[in-house]
């Protein structure tokens, strides 16, 4: 007669426990894999996120570098008249692909404009030490205007983001040359200036920059100004926060120094290293994110005004809601009398520059 081993029950229990453990482990792994696929697999309805960057210089290449690491784009196409420079920049970028999310990076041509969601124009003459942005005007208007016409001829349905300086005037030139609806052609404007403002204000008040909300408005240049009436720290208007902080006795004087420091930041950097590109590259990624992801972010891009703030037919920086179609809405904020006068002053300066081009 067959005899059952004494340890049979123990083996059976042990095996059952193992099966239960393995079943739970398999379920967890399968669940996580499903979630990973949901997060990283694009839906068929989602558009192909293609960004074309015109200009392979320091700003264009740094933007591509930052954009590649962000995981925002499916495809990054770099275009420049200097073909050797483009090839070198692309090769340098793709060698880093093991270290950032999957994205196709390549050199391109005019035909790539047709199906792009975003065309970022960084091409143009570089700003020299001591040279104002408006002095760059005549050199860059023809370059950017020609690019804008080419993009329009390719029947691009995306958004055009102008970065080349003087950005406000060139945004206006690009808008007129494309014939597009105004919201689809925007400039990087004072997004970077506002970031500088937040950084300097945060350092002064010893507060995390993420808890500082502040904007620089107007021309991206010498007539830009701080919108102090819209500046908040931890949700408190900055003038009221100053009383809570008690760090500096002469706040009005400190305000003037902070504003001057922001306004002159670019000149200091240019005098030291020739050009700016790290922070502007990150600012462009922020604008790109709002466009490709339809985030409806409030950003101070340069946009065409049609009566907002009492200003017409000029591009300058005011708070705008940015999404996949560019400017969804210009926020006609309530500014102080002094700030509104400063905004009109910027508009007058830019209008004279535009008129000099006979656009």
Every domain of the chain with CATH number 3.90.110.10 lies at 191-357
From the list 96, 99, 60, the residue with the least C-alpha distance to 78 is 60
Segments of the chain assigned E as strands: 50-54, 75-79, 104-107, 118-121, 159-162, 185-187, 212-213, 216-217, 225-226, 232-233, 236-237, 297-299, 302-306, 312-317, 320-323, 326-330
Given pLDDT bands bounded at 50, 70 and 90, which one contains residue 155? very high
At the second CATH level, the architecture of 191-357 is: Alpha-Beta Complex (3.90)
Which of the 8 DSSP states describes residue 29?
A: H
- Candidates 3.10.580.10, 1.20.1440.230, 3.40.50.2300, 3.40.50.720; CATH matching 50-187: 3.40.50.720
**pTM, full prediction:** 0.86
Instruction: Lowest mean pLDDT of 8-17, 80-89, 339-348, name the range.
Output: 8-17
Distance, CA of 53 to CA of 66 (rounded, Å): 13
What's the mean pLDDT when you consider all of the chain?
89
Which tens digit of pLDDT belongs to each residue from 220-237? 999 999 999 999 999 999
Candidates 229, 236, 202, 203; CA nearest to 215 is 229
Share of the chain above pLDDT 70, in %: 87
Task: List, in order, residues 6 or more apart from 113 with CB less than 8 Å away.
Answer: 52, 119, 150, 151, 154, 156
pLDDT in tens, 102-140: 999 999 999 999 999 999 999 998 777 877 766 778 889
The residues annotated as belonging to the active site are: 220
User: When comparing pLDDT for 72 and 139, which is higher?
Assistant: 72
And the tokens for 47?
């558009």
Q: Where in the chain is the domain with CATH 3.40.50.720?
A: 50-187
pLDDT for residue 88: 98
Spatial separation of the C-alpha atoms in residues 316 and 186, rounded to whole Å: 9
- Percentage of residues in the chain having pLDDT higher than 90: 77
Which has more confidence, 29 or 48? 48
The predicted structure's pLDDT at residue 127: 72
- The answer to whether residue 45 scores a pLDDT higher than 70 is no
How confident is the model at residue 10, as a pLDDT? 47
Q: Quote the tokens at residue 4.
A: 């059952």
Average the pLDDT over each of 1-15, 39-53, 133-147, 262-276 and give the range with the smallest value.
1-15
Which of 71-85, 101-115, 124-138, 150-164 comes out lowest in average pLDDT?
Answer: 124-138
Q: Is residue 194 a contact partner of residue 213, using CB atoms and an 8 Å limit?
A: no
Q: 183 pLDDT exceeds 70?
A: yes
């Amino acid at each position: 007669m067959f005899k059952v081993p004494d340890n049979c029950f123990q083996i059976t229990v042990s095996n059952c426990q193992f099966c239960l453990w393995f079943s739970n482990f398999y379920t967890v792994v399968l669940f996580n894999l499903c979630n990973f696929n949901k997060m990283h697999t694009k839906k068929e309805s989602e558009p192909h996120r293609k960004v074309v960057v015109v200009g392979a210089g320091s700003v264009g290449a740094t933007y591509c570098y930052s954009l590649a690491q962000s995981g925002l784009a499916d495809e990054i196409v770099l275009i420049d008249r200097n073909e050797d420079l483009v090839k070198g920049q692309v090769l340098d970028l793709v060698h880093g692909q093991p270290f950032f999310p999957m994205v196709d990076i390549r050199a391109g041509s005019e035909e790539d404009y047709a199906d792009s969601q975003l065309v970022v124009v960084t091409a143009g003459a570089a700003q020299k030490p001591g040279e104002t942005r408006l002095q760059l005007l005549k050199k860059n208007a023809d370059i950017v205007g020609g690019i804008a016409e080419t993009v329009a001829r390719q029947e691009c349905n995306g958004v055009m983001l102008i970065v080349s300086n003087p950005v406000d005037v060139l945004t206006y030139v690009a808008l007129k040359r494309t014939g597009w609806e105004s919201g689809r052609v925007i400039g990087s404007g004072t997004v970077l200036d506002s970031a500088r403002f937040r950084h300097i204000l945060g350092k002064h008040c010893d507060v995390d920059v993420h808890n500082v909300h502040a904007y620089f408005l107007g021309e991206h240049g010498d007539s830009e100004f701080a919108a102090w009436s819209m500046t908040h720290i931890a949700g408190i208007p900055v003038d009221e926060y100053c009383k809570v902080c008690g760090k500096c006795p002469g706040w009005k004087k400190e305000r003037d120094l902070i504003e001057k420091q922001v306004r002159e930041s670019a000149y200091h950097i240019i005098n030291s290293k020739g050009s700016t590109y790290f922070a502007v590259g990150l600012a462009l990624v922020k604008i790109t994110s709002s466009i490709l992801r339809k985030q409806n972010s409030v950003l101070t891009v340069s946009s065409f005004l049609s009566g907002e703030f009492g200003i017409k037919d000029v591009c300058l920086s005011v708070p705008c809601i940015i999404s996949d179609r560019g400017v969804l809405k210009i926020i006609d904020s309530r500014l102080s009398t002094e700030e509104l006068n400063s905004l009109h002053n910027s508009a007058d300066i830019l209008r004279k520059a535009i008129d000099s081009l006979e656009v």
